[in-house]
Each structure stands twice: as C-alpha cells, then as structure tokens.
Amino acid sequence: MLDCTPKEITKRSGGLINPAKTCQPLGAMYASLGIHGCLPHSHGSQGCSAYHRAHLTRHFREPVMASTSSFTEGASVFGGASNLKTAINNVFTIYNPDVMAVHTTCLSETIGDDVATIVKTAEVPEGKVIIHANTPSYQGSHVSGFSNMTRAMVHYLAEADEENKKSQINIIPGFVNPGDMREIKRLADLMGLSSIMFPDTSGVMDAPLTGHFDMYPRGGTTVKQLRDTGNSSLTLALGSYASADAAHLLEKKCRVPALVLRTPIGVKATDEFIMAMRQHSIKEVPYELELERGQLVDIMTDVHYHFHGKKVAIFGDPDIVIALTEFMLSLGMKPIHALTGTPDSTIGGPQGSFEREVKGMLEQADLQGQVKAGADLFTLHQWIKNEPVDLLIGTTYGKYIARAEDVPLVRVGFPILDRAVHSYLPIAGYKGAMRLLEMIDNALLERIERDCTDEDLELVM
C-alpha cells in the first residue's frame, strides 16, 4: 500500500543539479584567446578540448582554435609529460603561434603532472613564448579559470623598468564579451588615456569575414604589450572575481598600483570607472560621455514606472550578478534572488564576498532576498517556486526555469547558446546600460501585452 505520510525535506549536503557555471579550463581557454597570436593548449584528453572549443564557438559563433595533449590510457597512468613535450614541438612546428598557453584539466591535475617544470625545461623556438595555468575542473568555475590564466600572463610576461614608468594604465576587463571590451576601451580613449587591456578578445572572437581563414586574427593583446604592463601607472581590475588576482600580482611583482572596481554595468558602476580614469587623465570628462550618461538617466526616468517594484531573479557569473543587482536596485526593482555557480572559497578575495556584497546592497535598499554562491539552478528554481518573480536575468540555461514558471527571461552573461549577435553588442558602459534597459523593458512589456486587454495596455504604456 502506498505510504502518503508527509516526509521531512532535508537540505542537500552536496552535489549540484543543473550547475550555474562551466569549468576552469574553458575560462582559461577564453582568456588565452585574448592574446594576439596565441594558441590555447589543453593538457588532458581530446574530449576536454573539444567540449570547451564547442561551447565557446556556440556562444561567440566564431571558430575557436586550440590544441590538446591527447591523453590516452598510457598518459593517464604514467603521466603526460611526454605528450606535452611532443605537443609543444608539434604546435610550434606546424601552427607557429607567438604564444602557447597551456592549461591543465581534471586528468592531468589528478595524476599530478608538474606542468610548470615541463614548460620550463621544454625546447621553445627563439622568439616564442609558453605560459601555463593550473585549472582543475573539479574546483572553481570558468571565472576562476579565466582569472588563473590572466594571472599567468602577469607571472610569465610582465616586466618592470623602474626608470621607465609610463602614464599608461592597464585594464583587466574580466570575463565579458568582446563587445564589452571594445566599449571599455572606447571609454578609456574618450578620457584621453593610453591603456593596455589584457586579455582582449575584441578582434579575435568578433573578427570580420574577410574571405580567407586567419588562424590568428589581428586582435588580442600582444606579447610586447603584456611585457609593458609592468611599466604602467595603474591597473584597473573590473570585477573582483575575474580580474583582481592578476592586478594584485602585478602590483606585487612590478609595483603597479591596483584598483579593483565592479564591472561597469549600469550608472553607478560606470560612474566609478570613469572617475577612476579621471584621476589619471589630463582632460576633463568629455561632453560625449556626459551626453551618454544624460540619455541613460533620461530613459530611466521616462520608464521608471515599468520597473518600479518588479521582483527579479539574477544568476550567472559573480562579477556580472553583483553589477546587475546594483543596476536593478537603481531602477527601483527588487532583486530578491541572486545566485552564482562560482564558489567564493576558490577566489583570492575574502571568503563569502559575493554573498556579503549582494546582501549588503539589499540591506541598504531595505530589501530581503536569497543570495548564494556555489549554488545551482535547481536551487534557483526552488526559490522562484516559493517566491515568484516578474523577471529572470541570466544565461541560456535559465530558459527551462522561465518556461516552467512562465517568467520572461532576459539573456545576459555566459553562455548564451540560443541567440545570436549578443557578443558584439555591449552591456557595459552607459550605452550598454541603455541596451539592457531596452531588453528588460521589452521583456516586461511583451508579458503585459500578452496578459492585458488593449484598454489596460494603454494605461500601462
């Protein structure tokens, strides 16, 4: 006979259901693509490299080139040093990159390959460079993998000439799309600053169609620029999770002061980025930026009643979620659910910083919400079931929750696999914020149009 007695529901002590992240090697591969003439190399099995390349290709709709150590049973048992040394020789002989960026995988980390020593003792052609980062897939996320590889750029390449310090600044953009990187560089140019962005995937992951195949497109940060980062006067790290570790290492290694800011999404975060650059610029904030900011504020004022009081759930990379939470609060919305798949404990910053930072913003706005790092989409779905929202903001994988709970979804972050063009268009800066406003407002209005009569709709509009 079926037992229908209610049973106590206990909290899960481990395991993830529908993770809100991907793995470290993927983030390391994306960061590597931000170096000009670089071929990322996955030290592990062929399947790892194939998955990461496919995932990046689906998001950016661009071919992603990468090599692999091609582990088989022998390498898995006896170590992959021989595979990596052979790969280094083959890569430089056949594909001739300027830089080979090696990242580890679950398998090579588990068997304990000493990649640093292998790379150090490898025969590298003159004028070529090898860097490496340890990125075990069973720790962290693609964000920490991006951070580790960016840190490796500083470790291997940054140099300082104490007598040749320059007025230029470094900008570490974090795990954002090439469209955002272009926008951030445009803001620096408007402020009259000479800047080195690293890594920089603009011109690589949004390269134009030219009629012939370029294995190494024109974009990306050059080795010369990476070496010169040690001579800059300031490093702006945009997003503490993806960018801070590299900035702090550069400060320690080359005495370049580091300033960690939020990803410049929305009014306040962009203001802080502009003012940080203003402190090192010889010119005032140009009228063009004042105009863009004024237009953004005007739009926010015009349609504030569309947003005010609307409940929203946000998930994705921690730097993006933190910035989006701040922006939603400035719109009068209520971000009552905020979740990231990246664990706090794997990041160089203080443990629990994501939860503390987001909860702090909610408390300042006199709101209560559920905030969690290292969580999964099963948890987010349960939150929304218990306390429904008017809008969901996140990656492609949020569509299953949106469909089940009949909630509009605005796709932001990585990965977005079922839409196109997004990687070319920024969400950073004032112009990016205008685009976000359009996306959010249209999603809310389309839902109102579906559910309301024409008479009611006139009142809303």
DSSP per-residue letters across 251-292: HHHH---EEEE---BSHHHHHHHHHHHHTT-SSPPPHHHHHH
Is CATH 3.40.50.1980 what the domain over 24-157 is classified as, yes or no? yes
Measured CA to CA, the distance from residue 292 to residue 281 in angstroms comes to 19
Is CATH 3.30.300.160 what the domain over 169-206+219-284 is classified as, yes or no? no
24-157 and 289-460 in the same fold: yes
Query: Phi and psi (nearest 5°) for 24?
Result: -55, -45
Checking if the pLDDT of 458 tops 90, the result is no
Average pLDDT of the chain to the nearest whole number: 92
**Top-confidence residue, 34 or 455:** 34
Whole-number Cα distances in Å, 407 to 130, 205, 424, 446: 47, 31, 26, 11
**Top-confidence residue, 79 or 68:** 68
CATH number of 289-460: 3.40.50.1980
pLDDT at 351 (0 to 100): 44
**pLDDT band at 348, cuts 50/70/90?**
very low
**pLDDT band at 165, cuts 50/70/90?**
confident
pLDDT at 350 (0 to 100): 46
What is the residue extent of each domain of the chain? 24-157, 169-206+219-284, 289-460
Sequence-separated (6 or more) residues with CB below 8 Å from residue 213: none
Percent of residues, the chain, with pLDDT higher than 90:
83
pLDDT at 3 (0 to 100): 58
**pLDDT band at 5, cuts 50/70/90?**
low
Query: Phi and psi (nearest 5°) for 336?
Result: -85, -15
- Chain CA centroid to CA 136, Å: 18
Percent of residues, the chain, with pLDDT higher than 70:
93
Q: Each residue of 214-251: pLDDT tens digit? A: 999 999 999 999 999 999 999 999 999 999 999 999 99
Q: Each residue of 272-296: pLDDT tens digit? A: 999 999 998 878 999 999 999 999 9
Measured CA to CA, the distance from residue 232 to residue 168 in angstroms comes to 5
Checking if the pLDDT of 349 tops 50, the result is no
Whole-structure pTM value: 0.93
**Top-confidence residue, 60 or 8:** 60
Type of residue at 182? R
337 with 383: CB under 8 angstroms? yes
**pLDDT band at 79, cuts 50/70/90?**
confident
Checking if the pLDDT of 419 tops 90, the result is yes
Which range, 104-118, 351-365, 422-436, is most confident? 422-436
pLDDT at 455 (0 to 100): 65
Q: Each residue of 112-146: pLDDT tens digit? A: 889 999 999 999 999 999 999 999 999 999 999 99
